[in-house]
Structure 1
Amino acid sequence: MKKAVALLLLSLCFSCQYLEKKVPSEQELLDKQMKEINWNEVDEYPSVDDCEKLTDENLRKQCFFDFITTTIQQKLAVDTLSTLFPKLDTIEVRVTVLPNATLEFQPEFPKDSGAYDTIKIDSILRARLVDFPKINPALKRGIPVKTQFVLPVIIKQE
């Protein structure tokens, strides 16, 4: 019996080295976590208060894009953009939602846009696309982040 107890104690003493594990440093843990994060996608897309009540992420995202597109179209409908440029029926607008919940708009023109006065169109867009409702910025790990997307906006309804 004494031999069994001695053997058990001896095996416990030598097996402790197998139980020790190296604890990674704080920097190693941070580096590992930073590599795992997908920096090209956000956790939550930008949103408006009307879309916040939706629980499905895809429906909320679509609600936001529909809201922004409709609001831009309504603001541009009261302008002379369609009469000044009758051939222009759709314009692509780069929308930037900043972390402080402000919006920036910039029209994107095709490379062969020499037929349009891009400076005039840009100034009309900047003049009309003001006073937007409150936008909640996109979130990445609970922190507001900048997002950009391009929306096709229909200028002329036929």
Structure 2
Amino acid sequence: MFRRAIPLLFGCIFLVSCEYFSSTNSASQNADQQLDTIIDLAKVDVYPIFYDCEDYSEESDQKECFEASLSKRLSELLNKNDLKVKKVVNDTTYINLFIDNKGKASVVSINSPQNVKEQLPQLDSIIENSVDSLQKIKPAVKRGILVNSQYKLAIIIKTI
């Protein structure tokens, strides 16, 4: 009987030791998976772009094209309005712009100094209408998924 117990004991030890090594390997795989799933949500892989900026092959060129096109289009839309002030204005208004995963731009908030609010009370609605009238934007991409993104823009307001 003792002769049968020894092989059985070695068999049990062998099975337990194999499982021990297997779980260590599994733990390292879990660590690799955890490292792989850490995502920096503050950055996107591909910035949003206007469809006419797609011709640029480099992402940095596409980003520059988007920023220049956005500034130009907003400037054109804002300049169409006949804004009149009583005092000299030389200040900066900040816009928090949200671009959803479908490419629709909208204003989250507008931060204007008090003198701009007093001199140009209609500025907020003009900015919102200008952003709403922008053409559709190709949204930002993160890991192959279209994502929402938010940007802060500065509008310098100067009387001429």
On whether the aligned pair clears a TM of 0.5, the verdict is yes
Distance 1:44 1:37 in 2: 14
Identity of matched residues, %: 26
Give the C-alpha shift of residue 97 in structure 1: 0.6
The match for 1:33 is 36
Task: Check the 8 A contact 1:43/1:139 in 2, yes or no.
Answer: yes
TM-score relative to the length of structure 2? 0.70
TM-score relative to the length of structure 1? 0.70
Output the amino acid matched with 1:91: T
Task: Check the 8 A contact 1:77/1:155 in 2, yes or no.
Answer: no
Task: Check the 8 A contact 1:107/1:122 in 2, yes or no.
Answer: yes
Residue deviations 1:68-91 (CA, integer Å, cap 9, x gap): 11100000001133x247515643
The match for 2:117 is 116
1:126 to 125, 128, 139: 128
Residue deviations 1:60-116 (CA, integer Å, cap 9, x gap): 1010011011100000001133x2475156432221111121101232224xx2552
Unpaired stretches in structure 1, ≥5 consecutive residues = 1-13
Q: Does 1:79 align with 2:81?
A: yes
Task: Check the 8 A contact 2:98/2:106 in 1, yes or no.
Answer: yes
Distance 1:146 1:55 in 2: 22
Give the C-alpha shift of residue 146 in structure 1: 1.2
Cα 1:45–1:75 change in 2 (3 A) is: same
SS at 2:93's partner residue? strand
Distance 1:93 1:115 in 2: 14
The match for 1:9 is none
Cα 1:49–1:90 change in 2 (3 A) is: same
Q: CA RMSD in A?
A: 3.2
Unpaired stretches in structure 2, ≥5 consecutive residues = 1-13
SS at 1:40's partner residue? coil
The match for 1:102 is 104
SS at 1:22's partner residue? helix
Distance 1:123 1:101 in 2: 21
